[in-house]
Chains A and B, each alone.
Chain A
Amino acid sequence: MPNLTTPDIATTNIEMTAVPDLIETEQRIGLRSIDPTAVFAVVGAAFGAMAFVWLLFTQFTAAGTNIGMFVVWYLVFITMIWVIGREQYDPVRARDLVARVVFWSAGLIIVVPMIAIATYTIAKGVTALTPNFFFQDQSRVGPLSPARVGGASQAIVGTLEQVAIAAIISVPLGILVAIYLNEVGGRLARVVRTIVDAMSAIPSIVAGLFIFASFILAFGGQLSGFAAGLALAVLMLPTVTRTTEVVLRLVPGGLREAGLALGATEWSTTRHVVLPTARSGIVTAVILGVARVIGETAPLLLTTLGAVSMNWSPFEGKQSALPLYVYRLFQLPQEVAIQRAWTGALVLLILVFVLFVTARIIGGRGPGHISRFRRARLAREGLA
């Protein structure tokens, strides 16, 4: 990264200002300018297609649904753009214009479900979102109890404990496997990488079946939050491993060499150079792993079953979990139960969103980010 500042630039600037009219008349060319003809074609086609749909659905056929009308409108719209494009330009540019409109629509359609899901969940869930949802359990909730009685505290506690158990198991293991794949290597590494890839494809219900078959049936464990945590760990492990491996691969090899050239051991280089350099990426990997399992429902159906009252212990007896709570209440006939289910879904959605944004913020930090805490410690030692 040569950083040459030659004095020539300064003199050139002076010369430039000596010719003022040149700057005044300077006019930038819009490189991404919009072609008015194309805009006219698109808008015209949109209205034309609308008129066609109106005719079709009101004058000729009786049946019409909103989405059906939209689909017909869209097809006519695209055809019209193509026809107008051919008239105005040539077939090549007409196809280009059609492709542009189609890809913009695809981009739009990807955005739509997010907005729809988020707004719908918020609208449905916010009515029963009261403090008691977080601080009371479900034990005194009757079928017709109003939303201000009882809550999902037992489910929230259960989810937090189960996810914590999953993280305690799969985060160290996942990071170790990623270190093995990227820092140590060996003949087995290829096989391990393939298997980890395959593991990420395990359906969540199969993970639940596995824990039921092994921990509960074979080893006599009980249906509990711990069993659920084990199932979630199986699902979380590949996410943590794969994401960590990717960020370890991004650590430049020159840093490892620099560490070794200072007389460090491999372990010391990994511990003090590689891992700190990849720190933000590893934190992101862990958070994304948590986000992946926090809303998992299927394995919990087979490992902890759920409970209505608070059970602080993940080792003794059945425990509730937020996804289970939502799943069960949603299938009840009472309006108020479904309302509670939506509130649980909203809390889950918020949790995932918060986790995701945190992961992105931390992941966006470069390795040179020095925390306030660390800066203070260095300052105390006279090193900053």
Chain B
Amino acid sequence: MTTIEHEVLDLNNPAPELPPSSSLTARGVSAWFGDHKVLERVNLDMPAGEVTALIGPSGCGKSTFLRILNRMHELVPSATLSGTIALDGDDIYRGDIPVTEMRRRIGMVFQKPNPFPAMTVSENVIAGLKLSGVKATKSDRRDLVESCLQRAGLWNEVKNRLGAAGGALSGGQQQRLCIARALAVKPSVLLMDEPCSALDPTSTRRIEETIAEIAHEVTIVIVTHNMQQAHRVSNTAAFFLAGEGEPGHIVESGDTETLFTNPADPRTLDYVNGRFG
């Protein structure tokens, strides 16, 4: 694979302007849609510079929890919550930092690849600058496009197609473009909501490689239904479960290896071994 050359190069010269990755801490987080409670007092530490995987069956509140982490939850008009989320110790819901700034610090990659269809590949990468009105010189923008695409492991595939529309790429490439787009605003945390569920196995493997590449420079929280994937990519894992008609809660969380091989709760063992869910 020809990309190795670049990746090695990149590892040897980590971009100097990168902000340090941050830790996220959730304490007693509950969430409602209207009067329907979907999440029950979740406590979770997502350590800086590590990959945290959120696993569990569908409808157990993982995605809601993820969307609470960068204040996307409140886009639903009826949504409410309680508890605290802290980014390096600062409460993201009660602090002075505006929500837009907070979302820049905590980036997000969605389940379905969603590059902006009206923008080219390169415009997609620097969309964050345009959207928040940040001025940058031509050469800065060019450098940013190249470095982000390289970190997302996409540069070699698209370097001759930077002027193509974002939607013209394959599904896997689109998702990596979305990762590059999220990285371009220099977040210290990157949230990923089932980023591979719409992709084929080859593309999934490329995304996992990308996650491994960027994990040292940005904290990653990933929701996944794929047990092997969670096992492969994460250092920490949390198992969510929702009982019949009850809100979702964390059954168990901690070191990924322990959770998968020697969990404390029998339900976790059943789930990671594919016996339900």
Question: Are A and B close enough to touch in the complex, i.e. CB under 8 Å?
Answer: yes
- Cβ B132 vs Cβ A262 within 8 A: yes
Looking at the complex, which of B25-33, B103-111, B246-254 is the stretch in contact with chain A?
A: B103-111
Give the docked Cα–Cα distance between A379 and B122 (Å). 11
Cα(A258)–Cα(B131), bound, Å: 11
The answer on a CB contact under 8 Å between B72 and A257 is yes
B93-131 to A contact mask, C-beta < 8 Å, 1/0: 000000011111101101010101111101100011011
Which residue in B112, B133, B167 is a CB contact (below 8 Å) of A254? B112
Inter-chain contact B103/A383, CB cutoff 8 Å: no
- Which segment of A147-155, A268-276, A332-340 sits at the interface? A268-276
Interface residues in A334-356 by Cβ distance below 8 A to B read: none
Check A268 against B131 for contact (C-beta < 8 Å).
yes
CA distance A303 to B253 in the complex (A): 75
Q: What is the bound-complex CA distance between A277 and B103, given in angstroms? A: 22
Interface residues in A354-381 by Cβ distance below 8 A to B read 366-370, 375, 378-379, 381
Q: Is the C-beta of A252 less than 8 angstroms from some C-beta in chain B?
A: yes
* Smallest Cβ-Cβ distance to B163: which chain A residue: A384
Q: A3-B171, A4-B200, A262-B103 are in contact. Are A379 and B163 (CB under 8 A)?
A: yes
In the assembled complex, the Cα of A107 lies from the Cα of B133 at a distance in Å of 53
Query: Within 8 Å of chain B (Cβ to Cβ): is A113?
Result: no
Contact of B114 among A254, A366, A375 (CB under 8 A): A254
Q: A257-B75, A277-B118 are in contact. Are A265 and B123 (CB under 8 A)?
A: no
Interface residues of A in 279-318 (CB under 8 A from B): 279
Q: Cβ of A370 and Cβ of B120 under 8 Å apart?
A: yes
Residues in chain A near residue B122, CB distance under 8 A: 378, 383-384
Q: Given A3-B170, A366-B117, A384-B122, answer yes or no on A257-B110 (Cβ-Cβ < 8 Å).
A: yes
A1: interface (CB < 8 Å): yes
Is B145 interfacial (CB 8 A cutoff)? yes
Q: Does A29 contact B (CB under 8 A)?
A: no
Flag if B128 contacts A263 (CB, 8 Å): yes
B168 at the interface (CB under 8 A from A): yes
Pick the contact of B100: A255, A264, A369, A383 (CB < 8 A).
A264
**Chain A contacts of B181 at CB under 8 A?**
258, 262
Question: Provided the pairs A272-B130, A367-B167 are in contact, do residues A263 and B100 lie with their beta carbons within 8 angstroms?
Answer: yes
- Contact (Cβ within 8 A) A2 B199: yes
Taking a contact as CB atoms under 8 Å apart, the answer to whether B103 and A368 are in contact is no
Nearest chain B residue, comparing its CB with the CB of A259: B131
**B177-191 at interface with A (beta carbon < 8 Å):** 178, 181-182, 185
Q: Give every chain A residue within 8 A of B128 (Cβ-Cβ).
A: 262-264
A260 contacts B103, CB within 8 Å?
A: yes
From the candidates A1, A255, A265, name the one contacting B116 in the complex (CB within 8 A).
A255
- The answer to whether A370 and B165 touch across the interface, beta carbons within 8 angstroms, is yes
Q: Is B162 an interface position by the 8 A CB rule?
A: yes
Specify which chain B residues have a CB less than 8 angstroms from the CB of A20 in the assembled complex.
none
- Mostly, the B contact residues are helix
Any B CB within 8 A of the CB of A31: no
Bound Cα distance from A269 to B118, whole angstroms: 13
Residue interface bits B51-82, CB-to-A below 8 A is 1, else 0: 00000000000000000001010010000000
> Which residues from chain B contact A18 at a C-beta distance below 8 Å?
none
CB-CB contacts of A244-268 with B at 8 A, as 1s and 0s?
0000000010110111111111001
CA of A384 to CA of B159, assembled, Å: 9
CB <8 Å contact, B114 and A252: yes
Pair B200/A277 contact, Cβ less than 8 Å: no
CB of B116 to closest CB in A, whole Å: 6
Q: Which residues of B contact A268 (CB under 8 A)?
A: 131-133
Of B108, B131, B171, the most chain A CB neighbours within 10 A belong to B131
Q: Which of A1-22 contact B (CB under 8 A)?
A: 1-4
Q: Is the CB of B118 within 8 A of A276?
A: yes
Mark out the residues of chain A between 168 and 223 whose CB falls within 8 Å of any chain B CB in the assembled complex.
none
A2 / chain B contacts, CB cutoff of 8 Å:
171, 198-200
Q: Are A258 and B72 in contact (CB under 8 A)?
A: no
B141 at the interface (CB under 8 A from A): yes
Assembly CA distance A277 to B128 (angstroms):
16
Residue of A nearest to B77 (CB): A185
Q: Is A142 at the interface (CB under 8 A from chain B)?
A: no
Residues of A within 8 A of B171 (CB): 1-3
A370 proximity list for chain B (CB < 8 A)? 120, 163, 165
CA distance A223 to B165 in the complex (A): 50
Most buried by B among A257, A370, A383: A383
CA gap between A34 and B98 in the complex, in Å:
69
Alpha-carbon separation in the docked complex, A369 to B168 (Å): 10
| A382 interface hit (Cβ, 8 Å) | yes
Whether a CB of chain A sits under 8 angstroms from the CB of B138 is: yes
What's the Cα separation between A277 and B116 when bound, in Å?
8
CA–CA, A268 and B116, complex, Å:
14
B131 touching A254, Cβ below 8 Å: no
Closest to A280 in B: B118
3 closest Cβ pairs, A-B complex: A384-B163, A368-B165, A263-B104
Interface residues of A (CB under 8 A from B): 1-4, 252, 254-255, 257-265, 268-269, 272-273, 276-277, 279, 366-370, 375, 378-379, 381-384
Task: Given contact pairs A272-B127, A277-B117, enumerate 13 new A-B contacts (beta carbons under 8 Å).
Answer: A2-B200, A3-B172, A259-B127, A261-B108, A262-B131, A262-B181, A262-B182, A263-B102, A264-B128, A273-B127, A369-B165, A378-B163, A382-B142
Name 17 A/B residue pairs within 8 A (Cβ), A-sorted.
A2-B199, A3-B171, A254-B110, A258-B181, A261-B103, A261-B182, A262-B104, A263-B101, A263-B105, A264-B132, A272-B130, A273-B131, A366-B117, A366-B167, A368-B166, A369-B165, A378-B120
Measuring CB to CB, which residues of chain B are less than 8 angstroms from any residue of chain A? 70, 72, 75, 100-105, 107-108, 110, 112, 114, 116-120, 122-123, 127-128, 130-133, 138, 141-142, 145, 162-163, 165-168, 170-172, 178, 181-182, 185, 198-202
